[in-house]
A and B are shown apart, each in its own frame.
Chain A
Amino acid sequence: MRFAYYPGCTLKTTARNYEDSALASARALGMELLELPRWNCCGTVHALAKDDVMHYLAPIRVLVRVEDMNREGILEGNYRLVTLCAMCYNTLKRANGVVKEDPDRMRKLHDIMEREQPYEGKVEVLHLLELLREMGFEKVAERVERPLTGLRVAPYYGCLLLRPRGFGIDNPDSPRVMEDLIRALGGEVVEFPYRARCCGSYHTVERKDIVAEAAYKILSQAREMGAEIVALACPLCSFNLSERQDEVEREFPGFRKIPVVYFTQLMALAFGLGEDVCGLDQNHVDPRPLLRSKSLI
């Protein structure tokens, strides 16, 4: 099955390991993710101000590309757009929801994007995790060649995969999609209360201290609950919970570093797609010693 796929800026720069492992894993499951032609940045955050029109331009242009792919016959009647980055997912999905119910805003947008085809509102924005759930985790389990036996994984959702209500991929109070996936891959799930607590997000640019405190709380709780590794789905969460561990170590003596990976890296590993595709060398806190100790690589 072929789907339109939106990578977003960070998957092409600091989160290559996320994209490579996701595309390979999807292929292993019979899904072909076709990168949108001429995509642009979605803006990373949804425009919350009610009178905002300008910041809808970027996400809506992206959605027009999906309709273009169908017009050009690259896709046939498949208007589902698959995302990986949690922020892109949220921004595209919310912008899509707003314009579909606000013809006035849509008209203003069409006036500004005069060289584009008008957006017909056909697109459905999805996260890869939703697609895996739809396919069935028993199907995912069937594809596993090297189960993650004995690996204690704490799934971390962060904010935008779950909130605000109505725009998340799962129940914001008791999500289970990542837990189900990890079990299907043969891993052991460590549930921890801070799995949906904010990592500090964009404060990482000029308030590293805020992020370090958030990361300390989240990661040390995951450790206390018995996790050996954290799995997540957002390149900003990943930066804050991995790279910023250097900061955490400086500010909170006694803190023990813990590897943080994308859920797709665990998938590619369990599917036996090889270490190269997993890109484990790009993770800031090296997960390889742990994985070697479990004979997983």
Chain B
Amino acid sequence: MSTLLAGRVIRISERNGRFSERVKALSGEEIDLCFQCGGCSSACPMTSQMDLLPSKVMRLVQLGEEAVLKSRTPWICSTCFNCAARCPRGIDIANVMEALRQMLLRSKFDHLKLETVGREELREIPPIALISSLRKFTS
């Protein structure tokens, strides 16, 4: 499943450290506490759509591997906090997913392109859905 990482050698440099620190600061989470039990991945209801399991995302962030920003996983996360409710180390993984989204959104990237959603469709969708998706997926 993780073609994103296939055959890749992860080399740890200062740059990796800076990336990890940035994610820690934005998420406010003690990422190094994660010991890879996989509880978040088993609790997540969205894994069938993900290219990396949430626990793998956590490991890559610990290693400072920036390729994690190319993963689909943070954009599939629906911020349901089931991972956080299950984590035995008290990490709120949803906050880490938000940090990864923010790193891209803050470079003027929009994940949601409203113009691809039909007009009829937009009329049907309640404000709560539109506002939350714009908040989560646009810069």
Contact B27 A50 (CB under 8 A): yes
Query: Does residue A149 face the partner (Cβ distance < 8 Å to B)?
Result: no
Asked if B128 and A205 sit within 8 Å, CB to CB, the answer is no
- A260 → chain B, closest Cβ, in Å? 14
**Complex-state Cα separation, A8 to B124, whole angstroms:** 18
Chain A residues with CB below 8 A from B116, complex form: 206
B7 contacts partner chain A, Cβ-Cβ < 8 Å: no
Which of A51, A55, A201 contacts B132, CB < 8 Å? A201
Assess whether B95 is interfacial by the CB under 8 Å rule.
yes
| CB closest residue in chain A, given B126 | A14
Q: How far is the CA of A204 from the CA of B133 in the complex (A)?
A: 8
Number of A-B contacts (CB under 8 A): 119
Evaluate contact between B80 and A44: CB separation under 8 angstroms. Answer: no
Given contacts A87-B128, A163-B85, A202-B132, contact A49 B26 (CB under 8 A): yes
Please indicate the chain B residues that have their CB under 8 angstroms from the CB of A45 in the complex.
Answer: 79, 132, 135-136
Residue of A nearest to B131 (CB): A44
User: 0/1 per residue, A44-70, Cβ < 8 Å to B?
Assistant: 110011110001000000000000000
Query: What residues on B are CB-neighbors of A214 within 8 Å?
Result: 45
Whether A165 sits at the interface, judged by CB under 8 Å, is: yes
If the complex has contacts A45-B132, A163-B81, A210-B46, are A205 and B28 also in contact, measured as CB distance less than 8 A? no
Known: A85-B128, A87-B128. A202 touches B136 (CB 8 A): yes
B5 within 8 A of A: no
In the complex, the chain A residue whose C-beta lies closest to that of B99 is A49
A107 adjacent to chain B (CB < 8 Å): no
Q: Is the interface of B mostly helix, strand, loop or mixed?
A: helix
Q: Which residue of B lies closest to A14 (CB)?
A: B126
In the bound complex, residues from chain B placing their C-beta under 8 Å from that of A50 are 25-28
| Interface membership of A132, Cβ < 8 A | no
Residues of A within 8 A of B84 (CB): 163-165
Q: Which one of A48, A173, A197, A243 has the highest number of Cβ atoms from chain B below 10 Å of its Cβ?
A: A48
Q: Is the C-beta of B98 less than 8 angstroms from some C-beta in chain A?
A: yes
By the criterion CB–CB under 8 Å, are A236 and B132 in contact? yes
Range for the number of chain A residues in contact with chain B:
35 or more
Known: A202-B136, A236-B128, A239-B129. A210 touches B26 (CB 8 A): no
| Chain A residues closer than 8 Å to B99, beta-carbon distance | 48-49
A235 in the interface, Cβ–Cβ < 8 Å? yes
Query: What is the CA–CA distance of A201 and B110 in the complex, to the nearest angstrom?
Result: 19
Q: How far is the CA of A152 from the CA of B78 in the complex (A)?
A: 30
Q: Which listed residue (B28, B76, B94, B131) contacts A9, Cβ 8 A? A: B131
Q: Can you list 15 A-B contacts (CB < 8 A)?
A: A9-B128, A10-B127, A13-B126, A48-B98, A49-B102, A159-B78, A160-B81, A200-B78, A201-B80, A202-B78, A205-B125, A206-B113, A210-B46, A210-B78, A213-B48
Extra contacts besides A41-B127, A210-B76 (18): CB < 8 Å:
A14-B126, A41-B131, A44-B135, A48-B27, A55-B135, A85-B128, A87-B132, A159-B79, A159-B80, A163-B80, A165-B84, A196-B82, A201-B78, A203-B133, A205-B114, A205-B130, A210-B49, A239-B126
Give residues in B with beta carbon < 8 Å to A. Answer: 25-28, 45-46, 48-49, 76, 78-82, 84-85, 92, 94-95, 98-99, 102, 112-114, 116-117, 124-133, 135-137
Residues in chain A within 8 A of chain B (CB atoms): 8-10, 13-15, 41, 43-45, 48-51, 55, 85, 87, 159-160, 163-165, 172-173, 196-198, 200-206, 210, 213-214, 235-236, 239, 243
